[in-house]
Chains A and B, each alone.
Chain A
Amino acid sequence: MNKEFLKALLKRIISSLITLFLLISFLFILIRLSPGDPAQKYLSAEFSPELMKKVTSDFNLDKPVFNQYIIFVVNIFRGDLGISYNYRLPVLTVVLQFLSFTFVFAFLSFIIQMVVSFYLALKSIRNPGGLFDKIVSKFSLVAYATPAFVLGLFLIYIFSVQLDLFPSSGSKALEFDSFSFAGKIGDYFWHLTLPLITLSSAGIAMFYKYLRDNLEDTYQQNFILNLRASGYDEKIILKKHVLPNAIRPLLSVAGIELGILLGGALITEIIFGLPGMGRLMMDSVFSRDYPLVIGCALAAGLLMIISNFIADLIKMKIDKRMIKGLMN
C-alpha cells in the first residue's frame, strides 16, 4: 500500500509541476504580447527617449519574445525568478513578504468558513425544513450573492463609521510596536474582524449549502435506515457514518477554496488596505512588472496545487479507495 501510495504521490507531483510550468509559460508569453511597457512609469516632462531605450534594453524587452522566453526558462531552472521592476528586489523576496500576511489571513478565513458552515449545517439538518433551516438557507443565498465590495463597504459603514467598533483599514494600529504581546494579537484580530467577515461570508454560505445537502442525501441512504433500524445511537450514526460520507465531496471544493484564498483576496485587500497577494498581483499586472507577475502566478499556482493535494490526502485518509482513483 505504501509503495502504491508513494507512486501515486510522485505521479501527481510531476503532473502538477508540468501544469504549473505550462501555466507560467503561457502567462509569460501572454503578458509579453499584451500592450504596455514597464518604462511607462517614467513618463514625465523630464522623460527622455534615451531613458526609455535604456530601460527597455536593460529589461531585455528589445529582444524577440522567444529569446526572452528562453532566458526566462533558463533562469527558472536556476531558481532565479528575476528582479521586480517596481520593488527593485528579488521577486522571491517580494512574494514572501506578502505571502506571510496572506497565509494568516487565508487560513483564518478558511477555518472560520469551515467551523461556521459545519455548525450551521449540523444544526439545520437536525430539523430539515424547520425554522432555523429555512432562515439559514435563505440567508446563505443572500450571503453568497453579495459581492465582497458591497458587504465590505456595508460593514465599514455600520461597524466602523456609525458604531466606531472596528478600524476601517489596515492590519495593525500605528502604535502596534508599543503594545504587549497579547495586545499585539488582540490588535491584529481587531483589525482583521471586518475583513474576515467580508472574505468568509460567501465561503460559509457555499460550504453550508454543500454540507447540508450532502448530509440530507446521506441520511436518506438505505444503510442509514438500516443502522437506525438496528438501534444505533444517532450520534454514532452521524459521526461514524453520515459525516465521513457527506464530507468527501466537500473536501474537493475546500481544497480549491483554500487555494483561491492563498492566491490573494483582491477586493477585500483593497477595501480594507491589507498587504496581501491579491493587491501585489494586481499592481504588478497594471505596472507591467513582468517578473513579479510570473512570481505571483507561480506562488498562487503552487499553493493551489498544494492545497488540493492536502484535500486529496485527507480524502484518502477517509476513503482508502481514493488511492486507486488518484493513480488513474
Chain B
Amino acid sequence: MIKKSSLILVILIFVFLSSCNKKTEHPNRVVIGIPADVNTFNPLFASSVDEGAITELLYLSLADFKWNENLGELEAFPMLAKSWEWASDSSSITFYLRNDVKWSDGEPFTAEDVVFSLDVYSDPNVNSRLYGIFEILYTDEENHIDVEKTFVVKSDYELQINFLPGSTPNFLDIVHPVIPKHIFSKYERKDLATAEDNFNPVTNSPFVLIKWDRNQTITLGINKNSFLYNPGSIDELVFKIIPDYTARLTQLKKNEIDLMELIQTEDMEELNDMNDLKIKTIDGREYDYIGWNNIDPKSYTENGKITPNNLFGSREIRIALTYAINRNEILEEYLYNYGVLAATPVSPIFAYYYNPDIVQYDYDPEKARNILSDQGWRDTNNDGIIDKNGLEFEFNLTIPGGNPLRNYASTIVKNNLKAVGIRMSIETLEMGAFIDKLIAKSLNAWMAAWYIPVPIELKAFWYSDLQTTPLNFVSYQNNYADIIIDKLKKPSPKEKQRELYFEFQKIIHEDQPATFMYWISNIVGINSKVENIDISPLGAITHCWEWSVEN
C-alpha cells in the first residue's frame, strides 16, 4: 500500500513539475538546427562552415559582400569602412572607416584594430586559418606581414594598405573579420588559440553572444547599439546543436527549429506538402567527382617520381570513362534532380564566367568502348575484362564511409564500367584515413566532393606544381592551363577574364583529369514565419541582422 502511494506521489510530482514549464513566447527569435557545435568564436581559428558563418555574424569586416546573380560574382559594399580608394597604379588602397562603430564593451573601433587583425592572421606563432596566404603584402621569410611597410595609419579612421610591388592586389585577400586589439593584444601570440576571450567574444557586429551551452545551444542576442541595428529585425538567434539528421528534421517539422540545411532529397516529397515551411536551394557550391590519379601513385609516393598512371594517364581513357558512366541516372534516381550535371570545376553560378559552349560527355557506352579499343584496350583473353600488354583494366575506387549518395553512385559506376569491360572494386575508408591518402596522392581512383570557394579559385586545385598545391589531388599537370591560371591572378578587364575562364574550362573539359559528376544543391528548409532571408551561393546564414519574424 505504502509502495503504491509513493509511486503515485512520484508521478504527481513529475506531472506537477512538467506543468511548470509553460513555454515563454519569444516572438522575435529564430532557431537554426546545426549538426555540430563550434569550438571557437574567434575568426582566426574558425575552420568549419558553421564556425565561419557564426564568427562572421559576430565580427564584421571592412566590406560586406553580396551575390550578384546576373553576373555570378561577389559585389562589395561598405561595412566597417564607409568607402575605399585605390591608388591610380593599384599599389595601395586607402580605407575610410566609420567612426560610429563600437565594440560590444563600449570601446571604439579604429584602424589599429584592422592592422592588429591582419598582423595576427599572418603571425606564424598564431596558426590562424589564413596563415601563409598574404603573398600580396610585404611579409618576412616566415610569411608574417611587415606591419611598418604594409600599413600607414593616417588617423583612427583612415588606413592605407600598401601592396608588394609586382604582386596582384586583390581586395578579397585583405578583407577579413576584424578582431578587437584591446582584448587580444593582452595575450602572448602563441596563447591566442587558447585565449579565454575566444569563448566570450567582444564583437563589433549587431550580435553578441548571450549564452553558450556546449553541444546544446549557442544563443546570440541583438546589440541595439550597433550601427546595423534595425528595430524590426529579429532580436535573438539560437543555434541548436542536433547531431542526428532525423532528429533535426523532426524538429523542423514540429517547428522546434526554424531553419536547417542539407535536407536529403528523399524527404522532399513530405516537406513540400507542409504549408508552414518554405524550401530554398543553394545551388552550385558543391560537386561530386571521380578523381583519376593522372600520375602513378606508387612511384610518386615511393621516390617522388612523376610518371603517367598506367590506367588513367591518358586523357582519351579518362574521356572514355566519363562516357561510360551514367551520371544522369544517379542525378535522377538518387538526387531527384536537386542538382545539375557538372562539366568542369567552374560552377554555373558564376554566370558571366561559365562557358555555355562546353558539351557534356553524355552517357554513351558504345563510344566509350570504341575509344578504349582505339587506345589498345581489348578483351584479348575473353575473360570479360579488357586488357593491354598483359595488363587487365581493373582498379579500386575508394570512397569515404558514411555517405549514402556515394555508396549508391559507386555501385552504379561499378556496373557501368563492367558493361565496357572494366573491373572496378569499391573500397570504403574512414574519412580521416581517406584524406590522408588523398594528400599523399597514394590513391588510384576515388569519389569525393569539393565545396568550392567564392570567387572562383583554380590555382589551389589545378596548378601543376604539386609541391605548392597540395589540393591538386589528381596531380593534374598542363602548362597551358598554368599560363591561364597565372594570367587570371593578374588584374585584367572583365571581358579578358571571361575569355580566360572560358579557355580554362575548355582545356579541363578536354583533359578530363577527373569525371565531374554533378553539382549538388543544398536544400534549405525555412519556417514561413522567417522573412527577409537572402539565400544565395554565399549560404543561408548570412546577414541575419536583416531577418525578421512575421508575428
Contacts and interface: CB of A to CB of B under 8 A. Distances in A.
A88 to B, nearest CB: 5
A185 B17 contact: yes
Contact of A49 (B40, B217, B470): B470
Contact of B250 (A97, A168, A178): A168
A88 B40 contact: yes
A139 to B, nearest CB: 20
Contacts of B437: 35
Contacts of B186: none
A214 B430 CA distance: 44
Contacts of B241: 273
A169 B21 contact: no
A190 B21 contact: yes
A58 B467 CA distance: 21
B240 A170 contact: yes
Given A173-B23, A182-B20, A189-B14, A36 B433 contact: yes
A225 interface: no
Contacts of A98: 214-215
Interface in A145-175: 153, 156, 160-161, 164, 167-175
Contact of A41 (B29, B47, B194, B457): B47
B137 interface: no
Interface residues of B, number: 66
A255 interface: no
B244 A270 contact: yes
A286 interface: yes
A179 B20 contact: yes
Nearest to B211: A177
Interface in A22-62: 34-37, 40-52, 54-55, 58
Interface stretch (B222-230, B251-259, B349-357): B251-259
Nearest to A97: B214
B52 to A, nearest CB: 9
B247 A272 contact: yes
A37 B129 CA distance: 16
Contacts of A223: none
B144 to A, nearest CB: 11
Contacts of B435: 36-37, 40, 43
Contact of B254 (A160, A179, A286): A160
Contacts of A280: 215
Contacts, number: 175
B88 interface: no
A44 B439 CA distance: 12
Contacts of A49: 132, 467-468, 470
A55 B125 CA distance: 10
B341 interface: no
Contacts of A52: 470
B214 A288 contact: no
Contacts of B219: 174
Interface string A281-320: 0010011100000000000000000000000000000000
Interface string B202-222: 000000000101111101000
Contacts of A173: 21, 23
B525 to A, nearest CB: 16
Contacts of A97: 214
A34 B432 CA distance: 9
Contacts of B471: 43, 45, 47
Contacts of B12: none
A106 to B, nearest CB: 16
Contact of A186 (B21, B31, B132): B21
Contacts of A107: none
A182 B12 CA distance: 13
Given A177-B211, A273-B242, A280-B215, 15 more contacts: A35-B433, A37-B435, A40-B439, A45-B457, A45-B471, A88-B39, A88-B198, A97-B214, A169-B242, A169-B250, A170-B216, A173-B21, A174-B240, A186-B16, A187-B20
Interface of B: 14, 16-21, 23-24, 26, 29, 31, 36, 39-40, 45, 47-48, 124, 127, 129-133, 143, 193-194, 198, 211, 213-217, 219, 238, 240-244, 246-247, 250-251, 253-254, 256, 430-433, 435-437, 439, 452-453, 457, 460-461, 467-468, 470-471
17 contacts: A36-B432, A44-B47, A45-B452, A49-B467, A49-B468, A51-B131, A87-B39, A88-B194, A88-B198, A156-B246, A169-B240, A171-B216, A174-B26, A179-B21, A183-B17, A185-B17, A186-B20
Q: Which 5 A-B pairs have the closest CB atoms?
A: A186-B17, A36-B432, A48-B132, A275-B215, A50-B132
